[in-house]
Structure 1
Amino acid sequence: MSIDATAGVLRRNGTVPVHRTLSGLLRDPVNALAEMGRRAGGEIVRLRLGPLRPYLVTHPDHVQQVLRSDWTNYRREGMFWRPLRRMIGASVLGEDEPWESSRKILQPLFTRRYIDSIAGEMAGVINARVAELDEYAQAGQPIDVMEEMSRIVNRAVLRVLFGDRITREEGERLAPAYDTAATSINFRLLMPFMPYSVRVPGDRAFMKAVRTVDDVVFPVIRRARADHGDGLDVISALCRVGEEDGTGIDDRQIRDNLVSVYGAASESTAMTLTWLWPILQDHPEVAARLREEVDRVVGAGPAVPGHLPELRYTRMVLQELLRLYPAGWIFPRMATKSAEVGGVRVKAGAQVLISPYATHRLDAFWDRPLEFDPERFAPDAQERRHRYSYFPFGGGPHQCLGRHLFDVEAPLMVAAIMSRFRPEVVTAGPMTPFPAASLRPREKVMLNLVPLRSAPGVAA
């Protein structure tokens, strides 16, 4: 059955009137959808947004049907995907042949074994970039958390994607351009029925960001093609496809895949670590235990891959952070043929909205779902949960390729930062979610970095 969430009162007889839904969605769309899902108890909610009437699907059984068991009927197409296509093109984030061929090429490069093989180089990049923050710490100058987390992640992800083929200056143009694209698209995401003949807020900034990305990536692709290297980085692998029989992919396809993977791999880690520091500020007992673990395992640093198995509590904190603030907060799909989900008839062409942010807050599947509690993920305490009650990286055949990258990159970054500094948030909370392409705080988070010692290994 579908549920009407009019004025917060659930009735079993219709859809959400546009004047009620739009006000909530425009004011705080992330929490508005989550609250609808919670009040509905995981039953399907149908929204009425002008000409668009999507279905909000939050129950793990229904999520599993859409993302896994009947995934071929629910495609990454439709009005919600149209804005993104101008950036990501036809790639591993698409459907049909572009997705199939791209995933076949890219999947071997994102296995746990491969990520482990380059983890040492990633750790070196992360430690070097974190060391550069000493300048701010010594001057007592706060940092913009999102900006600095993005810069550190950017350097590490660029190593995976481009190897040594991209200059630091080129790489540093990518992060702010992609960030601009991710934030300027929110009006189109909330109002996907607006025609592209009508210019809306964010359009100009988005297209300028796309041009910047193209200006950086296409020259690097041309250099990589000319080099004919055998590197293990992603761009080398893409350039080698079909070299022997002439069936390779063109520069545009390589560009689309690089941009898609860059966004998925960098946004998850950067946005998760942006949320981390305000959460630790609000939960000093968690911060103290995390600091104790880093001190015991990493000491003065540097953080290296060999530390990862011992950073158990760090991993628990990150898992709980992904539960409450998944970077991929919404996964839109379009039904290609009529079908039933949870007893509700979903017509062909209808949009289906899946939100990990909403599902991760369902009372039926999580005790105290709105509270931050890393102990949920303690290895000896985890209760048996529905596979799709927790899916920060998606699920089914379209599950994010960057999961293993996150599992290495994120704890190394936390360890590198906390082994050098005592972070102190100076921005007043609470932080509220901003509905960009990836979940981020609406407020700018500023962080003081208090040095723990004058240099790694030397007491202050």
Structure 2
Amino acid sequence: MLAELGRQASGEIVRLPAGPSPVYLFSHPDDVQHVLRGNWENYRRQGMFWRPLQRLLGESVLNDGAVWQSSRDILQPLFTARYVTTLAGEMAATVDERIGELEGYAESGHSFDAGEEMADIVNETVIKVLFGGRLSREAGRRLSPAYDRAARSIAFRLFMPFMPYSVRLPGDRAFMDAVEAIDDVVLPMVRGALAHPRPGRDVFSVLCQARQGQGNEERQIRDDVVSVYGAAAESTATTLTWLWPLLDAHPQVAARLSAEVEHVVGTGPVLPSHLPELRYTKMVLQELMRVRPAGWLFPRVAEREDLVRGVPIEAGAQVLITPYATHRLDEFWDRPEDFDPERFSPGEQERRHRYAYFPFGGGPHQCLGRHLFHMAAPLIVAAILSRFRPVLRGGGPFTPAPAGSLRPREKVELGLLPIRRGER
């Protein structure tokens, strides 16, 4: 609905009838840039559209003000491109080992839930980066479905954000059960680390060292860990789940992608040195994030009144920014509904408005996990396609579910055929 409104208005600001506070849709890249970068201090991550998420995320790096600044200062050095590059060897080895476990599906012919398997693969890939081995594989497998339940059960609160929490809505109980399940994994780990501190350069260890002795350190570490895990692991898994239906619907893209992986990686294993050569793989992933951005809604509240391209915005107004809408504006994207990785061929991006494409947000609040995604996602895709030919089984058409992050409403059921040399 938001995407269609943005297209009908050709990117002009739209006022929405959505409750007691004024609500505006900003979809034009100029307006997006104004909110996320130019006048970002006036547009806060607060308000009725943000409130449902705060029951999960708490006060963290995904907030605003002093708490956000403190968390970002601690975490920023661990998510730079340079630092993430130092993790590439370990991540590639982990991916290769984990993808090898999929051989059982290829041998048996059994299919699997791509959403669950992608989440488990991403978990294995990022757990060492985020938690330094403190989080077991079993515990990681409890986190992923809990995040999925939380994202799906929040739908009614997103559609009726003005409804007070004294009024129970469908999904409220499931959401709080999911938050409890996440806390059952994260809080014992936090308490154990605070009771028995040890040095380390992983995200969790650095957070514990920096927060030790602050008085509210247990809750603060918990909130940051929950937020970072969601941004780095859950979003990556959700994005990769969408890849397989899109490749099935676009066999020419799938064939070219597989051919590149065969040429660059061969029979594997995939190595960090392969990444610069996986150019088409990168283009496919960029286009994937254009049509299916995991973070599809960035709500803000105007702290003070503002004038945006001649439109007065009242103090306290709710502002909705959604990559899903901006990524579909006809003025900036030819055939916006088509899945076409060629949009991201070398040179094309330089001719595009900087904020016509922003799957990771922008400005000071740009997602910390973007470099981790650009490392992990192509490693995972290349590792799978170097060994198997994925086959979609049943389902579709696959449509976005009403959820906190963009995920398929339908189950993506995938089978794997083993690749033999010369078969492609």
Structure 1 Cα separation of the partners of residues 306 and 422 of structure 2:
64
SS class of match (2:351): coil
Is the aligned partner of 1:120 residue 2:89? yes
Structure 2 Cα separation of the partners of residues 372 and 207 of structure 1:
36
| 1:383 positional shift | 4.8
List aligned pairs for 1:93-242, cutoff 5 A.
93-241=62-210
Structure 2 Cα separation of the partners of residues 124 and 186 of structure 1:
38
SS class of match (2:156): helix
Instruction: Decide which of 434, 437, 440 is 2:401's aligned counterpart.
Output: 434
1:305-326 deviation per Cα after TM superposition (whole angstroms, max 9, x unaligned): 1110110000000011111111
AA partner of residue 77 (structure 2): P
Show the counterpart of 1:77.
Answer: 46
Show the counterpart of 2:304.
Answer: 337
Show the counterpart of 2:355.
Answer: 388
Structure 2 Cα separation of the partners of residues 242 and 180 of structure 1:
29
Structure 2 Cα separation of the partners of residues 58 and 385 of structure 1:
15
SS class of match (1:295): helix
Structure 1 Cα separation of the partners of residues 163 and 214 of structure 2:
39
1:323-377 deviation per Cα after TM superposition (whole angstroms, max 9, x unaligned): 1111111100011111112211111111100010100111111112111111111
Show the counterpart of 2:251.
Answer: 284
Structure 2 Cα separation of the partners of residues 458 and 228 of structure 1:
53
List aligned pairs for 1:346-365, cutoff 5 A.
346-365=313-332
Structure 2: stretches of 5+ with no match in the other structure: none
**Percent identity between the two aligned chains:** 65
Structure 1 Cα separation of the partners of residues 406 and 323 of structure 2:
11
Contact 2:49 2:299 in 1 (8 A): yes
The change in CA–CA distance for 1:242 and 1:323 in structure 2 (over 3 A counts) is closer
1:241-278 deviation per Cα after TM superposition (whole angstroms, max 9, x unaligned): 165xx557611100000000000111321111111111
Structure 2 Cα separation of the partners of residues 154 and 76 of structure 1:
27
TM-score for the superposition, normalised by structure 1 = 0.89
The change in CA–CA distance for 1:250 and 1:242 in structure 2 (over 3 A counts) is closer
Structure 2 Cα separation of the partners of residues 318 and 102 of structure 1:
29
Contact 1:316 1:374 in 2 (8 A): yes
1:192-224 deviation per Cα after TM superposition (whole angstroms, max 9, x unaligned): 111111111111111111111111111111222
AA partner of residue 221 (structure 2): I
AA partner of residue 91 (structure 1): S
| 1:452 positional shift | 1.4
Structure 2 Cα separation of the partners of residues 381 and 177 of structure 1:
39
SS class of match (1:434): coil
1:363-406 deviation per Cα after TM superposition (whole angstroms, max 9, x unaligned): 11111211111111111444511110110000011000000000
Instruction: Decide which of 440, 444, 460 is 2:411's aligned counterpart.
Output: 444
Show the counterpart of 2:386.
Answer: 419
Instruction: Name the structure, 1 or 2, with higher relative contact order (CA <8 Å, separation 6+).
Output: 2
Instruction: Decide which of 47, 58, 61 is 2:16's aligned counterpart.
Output: 47
Pairs aligned (count): 423
Contact 2:293 2:323 in 1 (8 A): yes
Structure 2 Cα separation of the partners of residues 422 and 458 of structure 1:
13
Structure 2 Cα separation of the partners of residues 402 and 183 of structure 1:
22
Structure 2 Cα separation of the partners of residues 301 and 380 of structure 1:
30
Structure 2 Cα separation of the partners of residues 78 and 230 of structure 1:
38
Is the aligned partner of 1:88 residue 2:57? yes
Structure 1 Cα separation of the partners of residues 348 and 209 of structure 2:
46
Structure 1 Cα separation of the partners of residues 161 and 77 of structure 2:
35
Show the counterpart of 2:219.
Answer: 252
Show the counterpart of 1:379.
Answer: 346
TM-score for the superposition, normalised by structure 2 = 0.96
Structure 1 Cα separation of the partners of residues 396 and 177 of structure 2:
32
